[in-house]
Amino acid sequence: MRAAVIHAPRDIRIETVPDPELREPTDALVKVTHACICGSDLWAYQGVAARTAGQRIGHEFTAVVVETGSEVTTLKPGDPVVAPFVWSDGTCVYCMENLQTSCVNGGFWGEPGSDGGQGQFVRVPYADGTLVKLPSGLDDDTMVKILALSDVMCTGHHAAVTSGVRKGSTVAVVGDGAVGLCGVLAAKRLGAERIISLGRHEARTAIARRFGATDVVPERGQDAVDAVRDMTNGEGAHAVIEAVGTEQSMRTAISIARDGGAVGFVGVPHSGSRGVDIRQMFNRNVALTGGVAPARAYLPELLSDVLAGRLDPSPVFDMRVGLDGVPQGYAAMDERTALKVLVLP
Amino acid sequence: MRAAVIHAPRDIRIETVPDPELREPTDALVKVTHACICGSDLWAYQGVAARTAGQRIGHEFTAVVVETGSEVTTLKPGDPVVAPFVWSDGTCVYCMENLQTSCVNGGFWGEPGSDGGQGQFVRVPYADGTLVKLPSGLDDDTMVKILALSDVMCTGHHAAVTSGVRKGSTVAVVGDGAVGLCGVLAAKRLGAERIISLGRHEARTAIARRFGATDVVPERGQDAVDAVRDMTNGEGAHAVIEAVGTEQSMRTAISIARDGGAVGFVGVPHSGSRGVDIRQMFNRNVALTGGVAPARAYLPELLSDVLAGRLDPSPVFDMRVGLDGVPQGYAAMDERTALKVLVLP
């Protein structure tokens, strides 16, 4: 089959690789129908996150089941499915608690020895636990909406849930990437009254407004803090979604949280803890929550909203490529000419 | 009057200072009956926390009202009271939300221009908001129990509440100082099933066991992490109370939290954020909660338990001095020959 392979920073190629096969009786083999490129893939692309030359890449996909192992009971060939960005056995103590990202048998697509989402086929470990079955016959538009539930929409939702967004909350969202935008959408869905989007890229903040942002703050650093405090009676936001992962974004997020509030951080942290202003957290009782989102836990609920026409995160996709176009897709996201690239293998 | 004054690190003297007087109509003047020395006072004593020469010190006290300003409505001369470690107006938006430590008119005893608890009299700003009235005629034993609610018991309780301790929880408490021990007591009170106390000072861990600790871990660093994981099926504790405030204690606290759990930190942080392992927090969804405890919010509930004989944090006091003995009390706590010193002015 053909799949995206990362050889070195900024060197992603589409290559012919061995066809995946069932290895365990709990595996399923699936044919990818829709995949995409994630902001966190860019960390690998840019060389900030280390990868072994030859690793696969991509962790968001919808697919059709091709073959199932003998112990797979909930899926059969032909079933359309969506995969969360980690696999999980669905039975361990953490899966039982809906923290599938801590599954004792879990793993990430693209880690050495596993397939990535940006390819034609994927061997799915623990298929019963991992995959969420979809209705048959969904149109392409709906599949694209569902694809966003693989990661970014569930991740934005996780930040909103863990930071305590509720009806009437004032929410600030640091970052106008796909996760930040989905955080806006999640906050709106949870009943936030005021949603302040911190971002300066106009095409993106336009989506933020479409998703429910009531205010946009293009400033950064102390200017951004001042702007948010000015518009919240000096208090800051009850809940802050940190969707970037840099020292500055974390510092800003903590600084714009209201006393007694929380920052839900879902931007993969690449600057250590330098932006974590612990003294401010202590003095003002600002909690730091979030982490890698257990998308599998949120998928049924969010899927139900998508299928009912109540939720549409698909505007985050603004470029569409075939598998051969994946390297161009990375370049476009790296250059910020694309927000999020849809891949049709 | 006579009061403790800090002139420089390790230079605390009992001096004659001006008698406090009412300044605002919302003030009360109180005569201190019981005070004590806090682990956080030691940061000032040791020079780690800066103080201006001549500042008063001490922030935990019970007292009797001597005089009230014209706008004080809930207190009258002769009323016994307990003070939380910050004053608060009781009416601002944060006070209304029970986050009195963020009161827009709040402040800390001993800050420049204010009295400290280690003295004969204290001018109390916003007396109606700040002070909690006690029944008359309580005996000395009961007053000492109540004194612990000024700070350490409410602070341990805050860590337990914000880290999510509930019935059946496994809780780990980092630190065997007075706050850590009160954290054990708070966890027990909230229904924790297993309480692991991390400390190596036998007189203190004995109190931890008396307060409800089921296990004691004397190791530090990675050895402590291994020990806690060994005794929790590799998982760690649902809730961790961090009651020290150093880089190592924070790192240990995060490392022994169960995936999806939380660290409630109430040790005043003096090492910046270096111990905050953000990557581990992200990967394992460990939240960092807590901060300066709104003792005023918890006082009524905990006081009710003390008065009913259900709560007794007084074993944290193991040395008793008069006002002239305060410098010796600091020295004893600094040398760790005393756990917490009671002051009878």
CATH number of A31's domain: 3.90.180.10
Number of domain units in chain A: 2
| pLDDT surpasses 90 at B96 | yes
Identify the band that residue A107 occupies on the pLDDT scale cut at 50, 70 and 90.
very high
Question: Given B99, B250, B281, which is nearest A285 (Cβ)?
Answer: B99
For residue B261, the enclosing domain spans 155-290
The pLDDT value recorded for residue A177 is: 96
CA distance B324 to chain A (A): 32
The pLDDT value recorded for residue B267 is: 85
Give per-residue pLDDT as tens, B157-182.
999 999 999 999 999 999 999 999 99
- A326 contacts: CB under 8 Å, gap ≥ 6: A4, A12, A14, A37, A118, A341, A343
Give the residue-averaged pLDDT of B220-237: 97
Identify the band that residue A143 occupies on the pLDDT scale cut at 50, 70 and 90.
very high
% of chain B at pLDDT higher than 70: 100
The pLDDT value recorded for residue A52 is: 92
CA dihedral A246, A249, A255, A258 (to 10 degrees): -120
Task: Answer for the pair A126, A13: CB distance below 8 angstroms, yes or no.
Answer: no
If you measure CA to CA, which chain B residue comes closest to A86? B283
Element (H, E) at A241: strand A237-242
| pLDDT surpasses 90 at B268 | no
Identify the band that residue B136 occupies on the pLDDT scale cut at 50, 70 and 90.
very high
Q: Mark B217-240 as b/e (b = at least 16 C-beta within 10 Å).
A: beebeeebbebbbebbeebbbbbb
Please tell me whether the overall predicted TM-score, pTM, comes out greater than 0.90 for this model: yes
Q: Verify that A45 and A103 share a domain, yes or no.
A: yes
Give per-residue pLDDT as tens, A231-272.
999 999 999 999 999 999 999 999 999 999 999 999 888 878
Measured distance CA(A249)–CA(A270) in Å, rounded:
11
| Residues in chain A within 8 Å Cβ distance of B93 | 235
Q: Verify that A192 and A119 share a domain, yes or no.
A: no
- Pairing relationship of beta strands B86-87 and B55-56 according to DSSP bridges: unpaired
% of chain A at pLDDT higher than 90: 97
| Residues in chain B within 8 Å Cβ distance of A250 | 278
The pLDDT value recorded for residue A267 is: 85
Q: Mark A230-263 as b/e (b = at least 16 C-beta within 10 Å).
A: ebbeebbbbbbbbbbbbbebbbbbbbbbbbbbbb
Q: Using the structure block, give the residue that is written with the tokens 């966190």.
A: A40
The pLDDT value recorded for residue A284 is: 98
Distances (CA, A) of A284 to A68, B44, B244, B318: 53, 21, 18, 32
| pLDDT surpasses 90 at B272 | no
CB contact under 8 A, B282 and A276: no
| pLDDT surpasses 90 at B270 | no
Distances (CA, A) of B270 to A294, B56, B160, B248, B267: 33, 21, 21, 11, 9
Give the residue-averaged pLDDT of B238-264: 97
Q: Verify that B6 and B146 share a domain, yes or no.
A: yes
Give per-residue pLDDT as tens, A195-245.
999 999 999 999 999 999 999 999 999 999 999 999 999 999 999 999 999
| Residues in chain A within 8 Å Cβ distance of B269 | 278-279, 282
Q: Given CB atoms, is B43 within the 8 Å cutoff of chain A?
A: no
Give per-residue pLDDT as tens, B50-93.
899 999 999 999 999 999 999 999 999 999 999 999 999 999 99
CATH number of A286's domain: 3.40.50.720
Measured distance CA(A245)–CA(B280) in Å, rounded:
14
CB contact under 8 A, B285 and A291: yes
The pLDDT value recorded for residue B123 is: 98
The pLDDT value recorded for residue B157 is: 98
| pLDDT surpasses 90 at B222 | yes
CA distance A260 to chain B (A): 7
CB contact under 8 A, A260 and B97: yes
3-state helix, strand, coil in chain B (%, to 5): 35, 25, 40
Q: Verify that A49 and A111 share a domain, yes or no.
A: yes
Q: Verify that A138 and A244 share a domain, yes or no.
A: no
Q: Mark B308-334 as b/e (b = at least 16 C-beta within 10 Å).
A: eeebbbbbbbbbebebebbbebbebbe
Q: Verify that B114 and B10 share a domain, yes or no.
A: yes
Question: Given B102, B272, B287, which is nearest A285 (Cβ)?
Answer: B102
**DSSP code of A256?**
T
CB contact under 8 A, B265 and A273: no
CB contact under 8 A, A288 and B281: yes
CB contact under 8 A, A102 and B285: yes
Give the residue-averaged pLDDT of B204-225: 97
Q: Verify that B104 and B218 share a domain, yes or no.
A: no
Q: Given CB atoms, is A278 within the 8 Å cutoff of chain B?
A: yes
Q: Using the structure block, give the residue that is written with the tokens 């004989």.
A: B309
- B113 contacts: CB under 8 Å, gap ≥ 6: none
Give per-residue pLDDT as tens, A47-103.
988 899 999 999 999 999 999 999 999 999 999 999 999 999 999 999 999 999 999
Q: Verify that A278 and A320 share a domain, yes or no.
A: no
CB contact under 8 A, B285 and A235: no
Q: Given CB atoms, is A279 within the 8 Å cutoff of chain B?
A: yes
| pLDDT surpasses 90 at B316 | yes
Q: Which amino acid is at B104?
A: V
Q: Verify that B160 and B107 share a domain, yes or no.
A: no
The pLDDT value recorded for residue A335 is: 96
Q: Verify that A147 and A6 share a domain, yes or no.
A: yes
Q: Given CB atoms, is A265 within the 8 Å cutoff of chain B?
A: yes
Q: Given CB atoms, is B272 within the 8 Å cutoff of chain A?
A: yes
Q: What is the number of residues in chain B?
A: 345
Q: Verify that B239 and B178 share a domain, yes or no.
A: yes
CB contact under 8 A, B102 and A260: yes
Q: Verify that B66 and B128 share a domain, yes or no.
A: yes
Measured distance CA(A119)–CA(A12) in Å, rounded:
12
The pLDDT value recorded for residue B154 is: 98
